[in-house]
Structures are given as structure tokens and as C-alpha cells.
Amino acid sequence: MLKTLRCEAWVARRIARLTRHLNAEDAAYVDAAVAEALAGEQPSVVLEACEAKVIEANPQLHEIRTREARERRFVSLGRMDAAGLRHVIARVENGDAVWVDAMLNRVADILAARDKAEENPYRSLDTRRAEAFGWLARPAELLALLLEHAEDPDPGPQSTEQDQPGNGHDEANDDEDEAGNTDNDAAADDGGSDDQGQPGPAQQQ
């Protein structure tokens, strides 16, 4: 595809990465299917088609890789910095991550209300969410805090850009090597190991 200039180089590299764990026959099956999607389609559509065809080419291998990927869940700590802070990096169930995120937002809202009532200096949402994360380690205190503010009105969505979470997240990515999970993230992107597995449709035809 790249040699005939039918797609951009970065798309070809992404397709190669998605199919690198397949054997030659399965990869050829995916390549033939993706080639049809290249005509006039956006790169995102082409890549979605490629991901679907990778699964279709060898569903048994996909199941194995997915199962292996789920076994690579972890929680790790980065090194403490000069400010006495450190990163906590986790690979967990999607549902658990959503609930943790929601809890951090709830506690951050409570902390914002406290700051306002006590006329404390403004703190960003990221800063309050980071403090809220510490409350998760003290479940009894967290429960008491939530019960104390159970009747508080919903503050609604944040209205200012500075209050959107994520301003400090790039720093966490920079420290992933320190926490020892770079290989885990790479494996997560790939969906599992690079082992070639059971025969797929390409061999069965």
C-alpha cells in the first residue's frame, strides 16, 4: 500500500503495528481487506477497519491476546520528587477507573466548597483531585466526609478552562519509565503478546 502511495506513511506504520503479531497469511488477509477501505476513506475509518479485520483474521489469537492483556493489570509508584510528591500509575478495570474518577471529582467539589467557606486561596481542579486521591487511602474519613456533605447541592459542570482536569497529566507520562510500566503500556496498545497463534480465516480458505 505504501509503495503504491495509496495511503500516508503514518497510516501504513499504524497498520503494520496492528498486524505485526499475525503470521504472513493472516496479515495478507487483513491487508487485502484494508486496501478496499483506502479508496476515499478517512484514516480513522481505515484504522477501524484494520482493527476489525485483525480480529476477524484470527479470533482465537485475539482472544488469547486479550486474556493475556487483562493479566497485565498493575498499580505502581514513581520516585518521590523534590517537592515530596510522587506519581501513582495504574492499569485497572474500566468500570473501576470510572468510579474512581467520579469519586475524585465529588471529593474535589467538597474541597472547593470548603476552600470557599474558609476563604482559602483558589486551588485548581487537578490539585483538589490529587488531594482527593489521598482520601481514598482513608476510607473511614472519606465516608464521614461524604456523609457530612450528602445534602450538598450539585455544583454542576466546571465553567472555566482552568478547572478542567488534566493540566498535569503529561508529567505523569514522562515519569512512566520511573514507575516501571512502559512495557505494560506498550503491551496494552498492542492488546497482548506477539505470539503467533491459532489458524484464522486466511488459512482456512
Q: Give residue 190's pLDDT.
A: 40
pTM above 0.75, yes or no: no
C-alpha cell at 12: 501504513
What string of pLDDT tens digits covers the 205 residues of the chain? Answer: 444 546 678 888 898 899 999 999 999 989 888 887 777 678 888 899 899 999 999 999 999 999 998 899 999 999 999 999 999 999 999 999 999 999 999 999 999 999 999 999 999 999 999 999 999 999 999 999 999 999 887 665 554 444 556 644 544 444 444 334 444 443 334 433 344 444 454 444 4
